[in-house]
């Protein structure tokens, strides 16, 4: 099987179980708590560091709230087995980053993994995150490329997948909704 098909196949499997597989990272988190290599000893600085960790995770949650709140109906959802999208969302946060939900997930994870002050935990969890979501993104983008063709390619050529490019920003063309479709 060619690498492209292998990534798509693995991406479909990871996409289906994407809500549960990250829980396995909690094993690394537990190990890090028992592996006491505390970097910060001063209690005042330690409290500031804890606030920084919480802020990083809350920043990720904010990205997720903005993304979900401004996402129009039938462009994404809680689907587990197949991809579905009736239109391509290219405004607002989707005009600066193609995968804002995954970017938000990374910041949530990063804040949690920073908390035990373990450099190896941050590095390993970041690598696992990259490999994990790379396959899912590969599968999703294959679906979008096949469905939206040139429209998708034009957007994808100008908007990076996970590192925001704020120069590309277009105003949001949808109203914020608290209700998730």
What is the per-residue pLDDT across 78-88, written as a single tens digit (0 to 9) for each? 565 566 777 88
Output the pLDDT for position 91: 85
Distance, in Å, from the CA atom of 172 to the CA atom of 93, rounded to the nearest integer, reads 7
Would the pLDDT of 104 be above 80? Answer: yes
pLDDT at residue 79, rounded to an integer: 61
Domain spans, the chain: 10-35+44-76+89-168
Q: How far apart are CA 53 and CA 93, in angstroms?
A: 23
**Helix (H, G, I), strand (E, B), or coil: what is residue 161?**
coil
Phi-psi region of 171 (alpha: psi -120 to 50; beta: other; left: phi over 0): beta
Give the per-residue pLDDT at 123: 95
Query: Which residues are registered as beta bridge partners of 170?
Result: 92
Classify burial at 136, counting beta carbons within 10 Å of its beta carbon; exposed 0-12, middle 13-18, buried 19 or more: buried
pLDDT of 110 > 90? The answer is yes
pTM: 0.85
Contact 95, 166 (CB under 8 A): no
* Per-residue pLDDT tens digits for 124-169: 999 999 999 999 999 999 989 998 999 999 999 999 999 998 887 7
């Amino acid at each position: 099987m060619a690498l492209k098909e292998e990534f798509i196949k693995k991406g479909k499997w990871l996409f289906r179980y994407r809500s549960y597989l990250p829980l396995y990272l909690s094993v690394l988190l537990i190990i890090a708590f028992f592996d006491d290599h505390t970097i910060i000893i001063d209690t005042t600085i330690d409290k500031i560091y804890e606030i920084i960790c919480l802020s990083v995770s809350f920043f990720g949650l904010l990205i997720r709230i903005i993304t979900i709140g401004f996402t129009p109906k039938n462009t994404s959802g809680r689907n587990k087995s197949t991809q579905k999208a009736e239109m391509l969302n290219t405004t607002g946060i989707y005009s600066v980053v193609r995968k804002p939900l995954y970017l938000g997930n990374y910041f949530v994870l990063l804040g949690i993994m920073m908390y035990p002050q373990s450099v190896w935990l941050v590095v390993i969890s970041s690598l696992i995150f990259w490999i994990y979501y790379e396959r899912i993104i590969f599968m999703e983008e294959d679906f979008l490329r096949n469905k939206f063709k040139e429209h998708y390619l034009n957007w994808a050529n100008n908007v990076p997948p996970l590192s925001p490019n704020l120069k590309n920003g277009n105003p949001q063309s949808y109203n914020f909704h608290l209700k998730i479709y």
